[in-house]
């Protein structure tokens, strides 16, 4: 049995540090009563996360249980689901559960990715055992403490809703036992409940952060403030990687409240300007009057029209083989489908503009940021400032949306902010700064979902059998050149581009090749990553094959997915609940179907569509989802609604980032369009029951909606959409 090395000394440090962070910092969501012995300890090196429950769970004298989650919540609901995992095994009183967001630290690294990261729809999947074991260990320690206090064997004690109960009826609350429990040895192994025993997991549960987010009290990174803090607004070059040739800040500095303007190196080798002021508005107004000449020589000026031309040409050239197969049947195919699909750059634009706060003090630094990639960001800031990572404290703030944008391998905006802090410090200024990106900075600042071109040639027999399938995908590699590439780039193929075609459950003989052109536009994973484009291609082609053979699109898929029970289950559930095949549709209406597996889960949509003045009207979306065990069905439903709408948004006019001569053509949500309230169709979500360990839900709901809609449109009008957004 390992002894927790949490001496009262380190707990003291932890408590002081916690209190310092707690005051005015937004680190804690709820005001907490911290008792001397139960503050979360600093995570101990050498112990695995499961073996130091005190890094994850603290219980105060009133029995309030606070779960410190290593995972950022950007809306996907993990600050409720993770406490549910803990509370279940802990046998806690749900009404007394709270959460807080962990800073960057070893203990909070994802056990599979070995870094502190939120993404890939992996939080619950990777935390399923970890957080439950933490809860179970804590429970065991509470029981052990109770056993000591009562002088009886732990084996006769039981726990329920925050109380340890002895056979004679004596009850000891977790609050009264907490400090003694922490002194108990951490059990090396624990027994977890079986799903049949779950009281909490699987029940629709209201979010722990619902109230604070509904009354203006929730603080996000952008709301963080310290006395004397200065606000930084950047001026980025108009072309990625360009530099300031010369600038004149006289007018800018004349604006009341402006402290200084610095030229700083940017993360990508370019340079930009930083306006530092005593508030956002003066900084923003000062930026308007900066006079700058940019040196845009020596950087590629990406141009969308030129890129499509080059991608089209590349698609006809042999590429890197991702999966070889026999395409000889294409030569004399009786029937062929030849299709080219195009997908534009997409910007994530989470509601909260990118921001971070930095307090650089020369030999140490504190950062406050709503990051999806805490330990990488911590290291990047340290590098800029010439510090060791342990000299940088990175506090995780509640994030106003992420969708992947807040997980950047280069830590782009954080590196830039650190450069500003460094320049400011060198100029003799002290105190914290908060860098806020404008929405224009965000829309125009890169790290987009790449643009892609697919070229597909299919030989088939008109009865649903595919004899050959030649598939080429052209697009920038997201992870190539980043530390992630060791996991994701194999033999020159970036898996994050081909997922959904590669690994498709359909038994098609797909010969898949890729080209990964290098383009001077930074790219990144966008909710559902490769599936955001591959699902559209696969599910519309499957539909086309079905119709060519006069086969019902659902029946065709069922035939193809016969070896994939989860996929079938999701599809069948959506079909059943939608009335497909049973309900008589009004004249002019049609069904559309799509089913796609991503991040370990399967989502099927059956949609009901009609056309009005050449525009599709989406009357109903019926979703069937297989995500194994649903920890919180309310969250599953929310993620289905949100991901579906984001996928639907890809079809609307204006849902694209384009470039001309190196300049991004969009500015803000006025000309980069995202879904509005009126676009949301009626939707029902149905979850396939399962007791298997959970798979992901943050992203799988996005890919299948656009193809389902396109399939319905094809059924009504005969027109096949091959591009997103839909072209007229």
Contacting positions for other proteins (CB under 8 A): 73-77, 206-207, 209-220, 222-223, 225, 231, 256, 278-281, 284-285, 288, 348-353, 398-403, 436, 438-440, 634, 638, 641-646, 667-671, 673-680, 683
Distances (CA, A) of 41 to 22, 45, 188, 603: 15, 12, 19, 41
User: How far apart are CB 31 and other proteins at their closest, in Å?
Assistant: 17
| d(C-alpha 697, C-alpha 537), whole Å | 21
Closer CB to other proteins, 349 or 504, in the complex: 349
| d(C-alpha 471, C-alpha 304), whole Å | 22
User: How far apart are CB 661 and other proteins at their closest, in Å?
Assistant: 19
- C-alpha triplet 692, 698, 702: angle, nearest 5°: 110
Closer CB to other proteins, 275 or 382, in the complex: 275
User: How far apart are CB 309 and other proteins at their closest, in Å?
Assistant: 26
Using CA of residue 564, residue 566, residue 568, residue 571, what is the dihedral sign?
A: negative
Sequence-distant contacts of 380-386: CB under 8 A, at least 24 apart: 380/410, 380/411, 380/414, 380/415, 380/418, 381/411, 381/414, 381/415, 381/417, 381/418, 384/415, 384/418, 384/419, 384/422, 385/360, 385/418, 385/421, 385/422
| d(C-alpha 360, C-alpha 422), whole Å | 8
Contact (CB, 8 A) for 51 and 84: no
User: How far apart are CB 667 and other proteins at their closest, in Å?
Assistant: 6
Closer CB to other proteins, 280 or 425, in the complex: 280
Closer CB to other proteins, 41 or 640, in the complex: 640
Contact (CB, 8 A) for 412 and 371: no
User: How far apart are CB 214 and other proteins at their closest, in Å?
Assistant: 4
User: How far apart are CB 669 and other proteins at their closest, in Å?
Assistant: 5
Q: Where are the alpha helices (DSSP H) in 7-104?
A: 8-22, 78-90
User: How far apart are CB 671 and other proteins at their closest, in Å?
Assistant: 8
Closer CB to other proteins, 303 or 440, in the complex: 440
Q: Where are the beta strands (DSSP E) in 388-521?
A: 392-396, 433-436, 452-460, 466-475, 489-490, 493-494, 510-515
User: How far apart are CB 288 and other proteins at their closest, in Å?
Assistant: 7
| d(C-alpha 617, C-alpha 605), whole Å | 16
Torsion of CA 232, 237, 243, 249, to 10 degrees: -50
| d(C-alpha 234, C-alpha 276), whole Å | 9
User: How far apart are CB 602 and other proteins at their closest, in Å?
Assistant: 20
Closer CB to other proteins, 269 or 279, in the complex: 279
User: How far apart are CB 206 and other proteins at their closest, in Å?
Assistant: 5
DSSP label at 102?
A: -
The upper half-sphere exposure of residue 204, i.e. CA atoms within 13 Å in the direction of its Cβ, equals 6
User: How far apart are CB 219 and other proteins at their closest, in Å?
Assistant: 6
Contact (CB, 8 A) for 458 and 510: no
Total number of residues shown for the chain: 728
User: How far apart are CB 609 and other proteins at their closest, in Å?
Assistant: 18
Contact (CB, 8 A) for 185 and 3: yes
| Residues 346-382 as b or e (16 or more Cβ within 10 Å = b) | bbbbbebbbbbbbbbeeeebbbbbbbbbbbbbbbbbb
Closer CB to other proteins, 212 or 552, in the complex: 212
Contact (CB, 8 A) for 221 and 399: yes
Closer CB to other proteins, 161 or 652, in the complex: 652
């Amino acid at each position: 049995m390992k002894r927790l090395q949490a001496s009262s000394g380190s707990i003291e440090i932890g408590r002081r540090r916690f209190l310092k962070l707690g005051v005015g910092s937004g680190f804690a969501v709820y005001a907490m009563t911290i008792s001397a012995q139960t503050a979360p300890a600093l995570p101990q090196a050498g112990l695995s996360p499961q073996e130091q429950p005190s890094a994850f769970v603290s219980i105060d004298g009133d029995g309030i249980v606070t779960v410190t989650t290593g995972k950022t919540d950007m809306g996907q609901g993990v600050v409720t689901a993770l406490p549910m995992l803990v509370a279940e095994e802990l046998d806690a009183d749900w009404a007394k559960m709270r959460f807080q967001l962990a800073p960057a630290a070893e203990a909070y690294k994802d056990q599979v990715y070995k870094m502190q990261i939120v993404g890939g729809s992996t939080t619950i999947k990777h935390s399923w055992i970890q957080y439950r074991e933490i809860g179970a260990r804590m429970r065991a320690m509470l029981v052990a403490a109770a056993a000591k206090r009562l002088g009886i064997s732990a084996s006769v004690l039981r726990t329920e809703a925050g109380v340890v109960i002895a056979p004679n009826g004596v009850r000891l609350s977790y609050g009264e036992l907490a400090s003694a429990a922490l002194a108990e040895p951490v059990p090396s192994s624990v027994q977890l409940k079986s799903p049949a025993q779950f009281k909490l997991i699987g029940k629709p549960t209201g979010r722990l952060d619902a109230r604070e987010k509904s009354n203006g009290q929730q603080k996000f990174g952008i709301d963080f403030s310290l006395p004397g803090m200065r606000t930084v607004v950047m001026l980025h070059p108009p072309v990625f990687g360009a530099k300031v040739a010369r600038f004149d800040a006289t007018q800018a500095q004349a604006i009341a409240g402006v402290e200084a303007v610095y030229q700083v190196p940017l993360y990508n080798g370019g340079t930009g300007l930083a306006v530092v002021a005593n508030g956002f508005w003066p900084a923003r107004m000062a930026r308007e009057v900066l006079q700058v000449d940019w040196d845009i020589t020596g950087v590629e000026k990406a141009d969308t029209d030129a890129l499509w031309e080059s991608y089209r040409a590349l698609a006809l050239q042999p590429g890197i083989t991702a999966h070889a197969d026999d395409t000889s049947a294409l030569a004399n195919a009786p029937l062929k489908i030849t299709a080219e699909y195009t997908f534009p750059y997409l910007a994530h634009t989470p509601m909260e503009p990118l921001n971070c706060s930095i307090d650089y003090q020369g030999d140490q630094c504190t950062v406050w940021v709503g990051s999806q990639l805490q330990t990488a960001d911590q290291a990047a800031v340290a590098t800029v400032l010439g510090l060791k990572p342990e000299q940088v404290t990175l506090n995780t703030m509640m994030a106003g949306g992420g969708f992947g944008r807040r997980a950047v391998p280069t830590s782009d905006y954080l590196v830039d902010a650190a450069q500003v802090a460094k320049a400011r410090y060198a100029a003799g200024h002290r105190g914290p700064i908060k860098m806020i990106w404008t929405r224009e900075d965000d829309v125009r600042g890169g790290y987009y979902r790449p643009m892609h071109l697919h070229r597909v040639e299919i030989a088939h027999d008109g009865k649903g059998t595919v004899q050959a399938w030649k598939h080429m995908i052209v697009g920038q590699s997201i992870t190539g050149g980043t530390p992630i590439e060791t996991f994701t780039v194999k033999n020159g193929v970036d898996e994050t581009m081909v997922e959904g075609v590669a690994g498709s459950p359909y038994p098609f003989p797909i010969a898949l090749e890729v080209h990964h052109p290098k383009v001077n536009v930074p790219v990144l994973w966008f909710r559902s990553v490769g599936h955001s484009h591959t699902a559209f291609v696969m599910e519309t082609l499957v539909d086309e094959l079905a119709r060519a053979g006069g086969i019902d699109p659902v029946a065709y898929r069922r035939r193809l997915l016969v070896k994939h029970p989860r996929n079938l289950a999701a599809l069948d559930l959506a079909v059943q609940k939608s009335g497909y095949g049973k309900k008589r549709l009004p004249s002019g209406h049609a069904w559309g179907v799509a089913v796609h597996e991503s991040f370990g889960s399967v989502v099927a949509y059956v949609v009901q569509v009609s056309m009005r003045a050449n525009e599709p009207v989406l009357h109903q979306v019926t979703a069937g989802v297989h995500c194994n065990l649903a920890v919180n069905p309310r969250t599953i439903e929310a993620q289905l609604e949100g991901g579906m709408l984001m996928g639907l948004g890809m079809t609307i006019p204006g849902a694209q980032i384009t470039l001309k001569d190196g300049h991004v053509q969009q500015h803000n949500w006025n000309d980069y369009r995202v879904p509005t309230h009126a676009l949301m169709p009626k939707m029902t979500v149905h979850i396939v029951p399962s007791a298997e360990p959970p798979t992901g839900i943050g992203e799988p709901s996005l890919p299948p909606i656009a193809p389902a809609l396109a399939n319905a449109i094809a059924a009504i009008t005969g027109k096949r959409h091959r591009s997103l957004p839909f072209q007229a």
